[in-house]
């Protein structure tokens, strides 16, 4: 009976593995790039992981003679799960990055700002902050310029 249960779990795990692989290819080819596709894929991966853990638990109950055969099969399913999970993560991250870049590009092209000031006070405060930063930058440039001139003057005296 244990062998039959393991066979059923193994068969189901293989079905989910194939289904996840098919869904990942569809997402990767942009045939489906909706949130539902990612969620369905994530659910199938979670179910596949559950099957691998259940198979591992059942493996410990199996007789020693059959354990090695089932161990190889279960290891194969687990390796497939890890590979599919890594592929899913890469595709998901790439899709999210693409969405963020597209949103940023659309924001730039439409000329929208990240946040518009709420009041005249904020507008004046932002202008004052900007002027203050500019003034600070000018002071730094003048100091550097003075240092460069003094260094050049010293070099000139040393050359004469």
| Each residue's pLDDT expressed in tens, for the chain with a length of 160 residues | 777 888 888 888 888 888 888 888 888 777 555 667 788 888 888 888 888 888 888 888 877 778 888 888 888 988 999 999 999 898 888 888 888 898 888 888 886 555 565 678 888 888 888 898 899 889 889 999 998 998 899 899 888 8
Helix, strand, coil in percent for the chain, rounding step 5: 90, 0, 10
Tell me the whole-structure pTM to 2 decimals: 0.58
CA–CA distance, 52 with 113 (Å, rounded to integer) = 49
Kind and range of the H or E run holding 156: helix 120-159
Quick one: pLDDT at residue 105? Answer: 87
Long-range CB pairs of 26-30, under 8 A, 24+ apart, other chains included: 27/91, 27/95, 28/91
Report in angstroms the alpha-carbon separations of 21 from 10, 51, 85.
16, 16, 10
Quick one: pLDDT at residue 141? Answer: 93
Structure tokens at 141: 């440039």
Quick one: pLDDT at residue 94? Answer: 85
Residue 86, classed as helix, strand or coil, is helix
Quick one: pLDDT at residue 72? Answer: 87
Quick one: pLDDT at residue 115? Answer: 58
Quick one: pLDDT at residue 35? Answer: 66
* CA 116 and chain centroid, separation: 29
Quick one: pLDDT at residue 34? Answer: 66
């Amino acid at each position: 009976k244990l062998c039959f249960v393991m066979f059923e779990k193994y068969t189901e795990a293989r079905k989910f593995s194939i289904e996840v692989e098919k869904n990942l290819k569809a997402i990767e080819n942009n045939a489906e790039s909706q949130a539902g596709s990612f969620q369905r894929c994530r659910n199938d991966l979670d179910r596949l992981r559950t099957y691998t853990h259940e198979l591992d638990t059942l493996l410990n109950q199996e007789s020693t003679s059959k354990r090695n055969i089932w161990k190889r099969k279960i290891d194969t399913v687990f390796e497939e799960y890890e590979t599919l999970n890594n592929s899913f993560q890469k595709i998901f991250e790439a899709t999210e990055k693409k969405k963020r870049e597209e949103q940023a590009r659309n924001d730039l092209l439409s000329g929208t700002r990240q946040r518009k000031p709420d009041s005249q006070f904020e507008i004046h405060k932002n202008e004052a902050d900007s002027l203050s930063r500019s003034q600070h930058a000018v002071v730094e440039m003048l100091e550097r310029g003075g240092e460069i001139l003094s260094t050049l003057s010293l070099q000139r005296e040393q050359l004469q």
